[in-house]
Structure 1
Amino acid sequence: MANDLNQYQCIGRLGKEPEVRYMASGKAVASFSVAVGSSWKDASGEKREETEWVNVTAFDKLGEICGEYLKKGSQVYISGRLKTDKYEKDGQTRYSTKVIADRMQMLGGKTEGGQDEAPQRQERPAKTHGDRKGGPNNRPDFDDESDIPF
């Protein structure tokens, strides 16, 4: 397996607002889906289009940023790895594949309010300031201007 690569990249639009939950440790988990379109001409020369829905999960600071800044219809670039979960439902084995995001970049220019969208974000180890922690009731720590997502 030393020569294997598990890397996924896409550009698409959010189908709905991200759902953000917090683990017992206080770390954020954002889940959302991205519509990724493709088009081609079939054998008769007619243009065909197809949309693929990609489930995405982002953890920690990246998850908090996704929950705060991504909105339904937002165009985003997502990079990460594929993960397939196996589960049982109604006595049948089922599989669900998602992208575990390690990078997100908002695309598409300005939002409706005229604000520039957030720049590219990468998962980084959390920086701490004493007892301050991010969580459902606290805002995330931004240690310097490079951590501010706009």
Structure 2
Amino acid sequence: MKTFAEYQIFGRVGNIAPAGSTLKVSIAADYGRKNEKGEWEGKPYWNTVTIFNENTVRWAKVNLGPGDLVHARGTIRESSYEKDGETRYGVTLAAEQFDLLCPKDRQ
């Protein structure tokens, strides 16, 4: 039986930051709701996705901008490292699919 851990995010691009040969893209998924006055209140949750594929990195650097609506899907990897005698833990959201759904300027 095959096992896996994956994620899927539909959201808006925040920061785009090169990190060595990869690209880190922060994406906000908005879990907003109406308040007691009936007004919409946004509640964004930010996740940073890492793009490893060099072709996708090149494409993203040219085609993505803050506010764009995107879809990202990939694997989740937990990592750990030692720093100052302490074990530190992190999670990598490694993008296997990354699609631009709608540029900000067309919304």
Report the equivalent of 1:31. Answer: 24
CA contact (8 A) 2:16 2:23 kept: no
Report the equivalent of 1:65. Answer: 59
CA contact (8 A) 1:78 1:104 kept: yes
CA contact (8 A) 1:83 1:100 kept: yes
Report which of the two has the higher share of strand.
2
CA deviation profile, 1:14-70 (whole Å, cap 9, x unmatched):
211332533xxxxxx21121112213579x8x8765322211111221122122211
Q: Which moved more, 1:9-18 or 1:86-95?
A: 86-95
Unaligned runs of 5+ in 2: none
SS for the counterpart of 1:84 is: strand
Bigger RCO of structures 1 and 2 (CA < 8 A, at least 6 apart): 2
Q: 1:40 to 1:93 in 2, by over 3 A?
A: farther
The residue identity in structure 1 corresponding to 2:17 is: P
CA contact (8 A) 1:18 1:67 kept: no
The CA distance in 1 between the partners of 2:92 and 2:29, in whole Å, is: 14
**TM-score, normalized by length of structure 1?**
0.56
Cα RMSD over matched residues? Answer: 2.8
SS for the counterpart of 1:16 is: strand
Report the equivalent of 1:99. Answer: 93
The residue identity in structure 2 corresponding to 1:38 is: Y
Structure possessing the higher radius of gyration over alpha carbons: 1
**TM-score, normalized by length of structure 2?**
0.74
Percent sequence identity over aligned pairs = 25
Runs of 4+ residues over 6 Å off in structure 1: none
